[in-house]
Chain A
């Protein structure tokens, strides 16, 4: 008997209640003793359903309506809460759209900018778009975690790429005094 304290408490409380009820003498209350005199006791031949219906529609109409509205609100709220719980996942399409926007911005920077560092930032944006794609799809691969693993690989590769690219840019700047990719054409001839 593991939970004997709660059992003891319940038994004690039951004893107290029985004591109070026996002391109170509910049978001796005045309106209870008066009821048979004025014919106010429910008899086995009465139709309780009809009485309840009349009572609910006449005397207790306002509480009845209030409680029905409360029930409706609670039901709608519960449905809403449970629906939200299911909608917690953000759709994959949103991630893909953001990734596509980042990719296009990076592509624009790579094509149009005349500064090598800005071109490099554009490349970083493109890489980030790819990593976002990997991560967003990786949410649906809990067992293998391929997406997130390759995202980490891609981040480290991007770091290595950037270091080398910056070293190249610095050397080019030291040699040509410019970092505009279009004007570095000594290798051409």
Chain B
């Protein structure tokens, strides 16, 4: 068993596992933070596909830009967003 293959499969497992948790989790906060791990695992997979620049770009733009943006909006929108996930009442309509 090659070390590269072991690392590749570990990366793939981390990526898909954390993505499954992102989809499974009821809490938006945990979902966002597991998406963090998914993005890092994807950056590792890009390295295995011989695309190191794309991996760095992924970390810089996705993790540094998009995810922080999502967290920012999510934090700014207050607690009700979290609570609305649990009971999910439809106010209008």
Contact = CB atoms under 8 A, between A and B. Distances in A.
Interface string B52-93: 011001100110011001100110110011001100111111
B16 interface: yes
Interface residues of B, number: 48
B84 to A, nearest CB: 6
Interface residues of A, number: 53
B88 A114 contact: yes
A174 to B, nearest CB: 9
Main DSSP-derived SS at the A contact region: helix
Interface of B: 2, 4-5, 8, 12, 15-16, 19-20, 22-23, 28, 31-32, 35, 38-39, 42, 45-46, 48-51, 53-54, 57-58, 61-62, 65-66, 69-70, 73-74, 76-77, 80-81, 84-85, 88-93
Interface of A: 84, 87-88, 90, 94-95, 98, 101-102, 105-106, 108-109, 114-115, 117-118, 120-122, 124-125, 128, 131-132, 135-136, 138-139, 147-148, 151-152, 155-156, 158-159, 162-163, 166, 169-170, 173, 176-180, 182-186
Given A109-B22, A121-B22, A148-B53, 15 more contacts: A87-B2, A90-B4, A109-B23, A121-B35, A128-B42, A131-B54, A131-B58, A132-B49, A135-B49, A135-B51, A155-B57, A159-B65, A163-B69, A166-B73, A177-B91
